[in-house]
Structure 1
């Protein structure tokens, strides 16, 4: 991959864990990188990076950022289950604001950090692919369904391409037994986003953000044209993770659905806290 393949790229959610991992590789792909988040700017910026503090729920703040952009990589959101009212502006309205501003300014593509929670109630044992119908497990997952459907509509009605990446569990290392299937390494996440940007034409595409795990409950076989070839495998951590796992329970939807603990929590209650309990070997 050569440098400066694109003119201007915009990255939202740049202060989050995944957004921060994307800043450097994206800067090498563009002459100009605009990064944004609701938080203050990072301590150091890359040579071609401009940071703008902005609230995704405020269209007037978002719209100018997209002027002249070829693509927007939309990773900004609250990344946990919350009451609908808490998610409404950042996750629902924020997604609309990005797509609308991208279209108004003639951008070519939105690369969107969707989530496995858009289909979180699907069973692990079914081996779902990218045609799986929406089955959200939370208000958080429902927001991902909304944005995916909007992405398809903006492609079919307005010609704005979209790649929606249903990310599973993206962490430096797999954290629990569920992650033996769901883990996405940072290295593979960067590769997936890069492929979503570089692929010449995508129309509307859904792909799963998952590493090359032996136990992956999802399949990307229908979107091979993206050229995504994950390099990492959570199986390397299997022995250690099984040693601290909770007891198997076929009635526990946290263990049997692709959304994991998000599939089991009451609507509006944190899924991240439930994942922490699973990681600690607690029910």
Structure 2
């Protein structure tokens, strides 16, 4: 069977989300080249090869892009850190992927951006895709940089890109905030598939969020991608809200779409803040994973 592309390069292939999309990308290309600074996965797909490389070094990225049609750039430190720690993995790596891709004629880059590029926007703002950048951390600033980098390479070099502003991507919703922000693994794979298979994209931003009743953003202006998420965090609402923290409109972690990243000091881990959940809320999350079979059939990934 003829694949859509000859070669797709995936950076960050051994990360949590990279591992979830490898099979999706392999199904779209004759060859998938998976790249990570870590060791290779235990098992590779039939048409997958692995290269251990540091994306913060241009000379290691350049040969990867030779003959590639699509680059999917998921390599980064996926948390807030001091700026100096993020400079190579989160800023320079993006430049290297775009520049190496340009030199080798890559058609399009799919980038794992983040809600944290606009993390200081309030939930109540109803943000669409034209909302101004409002990073909540140095990590979010790196996402803004790469979105602007993609916009620049489209305007000056005709290189397409799709920037996925990924929200809370987990197997099941983990806390009350995720009722707004959850992205299921199935919907992530669907979003990546649509970003790769779209006939043309130019420079495009799209929110990586499932079909949640309480989603604080909308993707109307990226409808041409054909991304139609199916999963809905509302199926976990009763369990997650039962022990959620009281509503506090003075708490920016509750009011802003970046959640705890909106209140942590610059350079300090936001993931640690998210994990520091009250025991009762964590117990509710654990209970929420025990879903009835009818939800399993709806693709809820329990």
If the TM-score is normalised by the length of the shorter chain, which range does it land in?
over 0.9
The answer to whether the Cα contact below 8 Å between 1:57 and 1:90 also exists between their aligned partners in 2 is: yes
Q: TM-score, normalised by structure 1?
A: 0.97
CA apart distance, 1:123: 0.4
Distance 1:75 1:237, change over 3 A: same
The answer to whether the Cα contact below 8 Å between 1:3 and 1:29 also exists between their aligned partners in 2 is: no
Listed one character per residue, the Cα deviations across residues 204-251 of structure 1 (whole Å, up to 9, x for unaligned) are 000000000000001001111000000100000000101121121110
What residue number does 1:236 align with? 235
Q: TM-score, normalised by structure 2?
A: 0.91
What residue number does 1:248 align with? 247
> How many angstroms apart in 1 are the aligned matches of 2:180 and 2:280?
17
The answer to whether the Cα contact below 8 Å between 1:121 and 1:257 also exists between their aligned partners in 2 is: yes
> How many angstroms apart in 2 are the aligned matches of 1:7 and 1:19?
20
SS of structure 2 residue aligned to 1:97:
helix
* Root mean square deviation of aligned Cα: 1.1
> Is 1:24 matched with 2:30?
no
CA apart distance, 1:3: 5.8
Distance 1:36 1:274, change over 3 A: same
Gaps of 5+ in 1: none
What residue number does 1:192 align with? 191
| 1:251-270 to 2 correspondences below 5 Å | 251-270=250-269
> How many angstroms apart in 1 are the aligned matches of 2:221 and 2:94?
26
CA apart distance, 1:277: 1.8
The answer to whether the Cα contact below 8 Å between 1:83 and 1:268 also exists between their aligned partners in 2 is: yes
> How many angstroms apart in 2 are the aligned matches of 1:236 and 1:136?
30
> How many angstroms apart in 2 are the aligned matches of 1:12 and 1:87?
16
- Tell me which stretches of 4 or more aligned residues in structure 1 moved more than 2 Å: 278-282
What residue number does 1:219 align with? 218
What residue number does 2:103 align with? 104
Listed one character per residue, the Cα deviations across residues 45-68 of structure 1 (whole Å, up to 9, x for unaligned) are 111101001111111111100000
| Comparing 266-275 and 239-248, the one that deviates more | 239-248
The answer to whether the Cα contact below 8 Å between 1:175 and 1:279 also exists between their aligned partners in 2 is: no
> How many angstroms apart in 2 are the aligned matches of 1:113 and 1:53?
20
What residue number does 1:4 align with? 3
What residue number does 2:298 align with? none
SS of structure 2 residue aligned to 1:112:
strand
Gaps of 5+ in 2: 282-302
CA apart distance, 1:281: 5.7
Listed one character per residue, the Cα deviations across residues 143-181 of structure 1 (whole Å, up to 9, x for unaligned) are 000000000000000000000010010000000111001
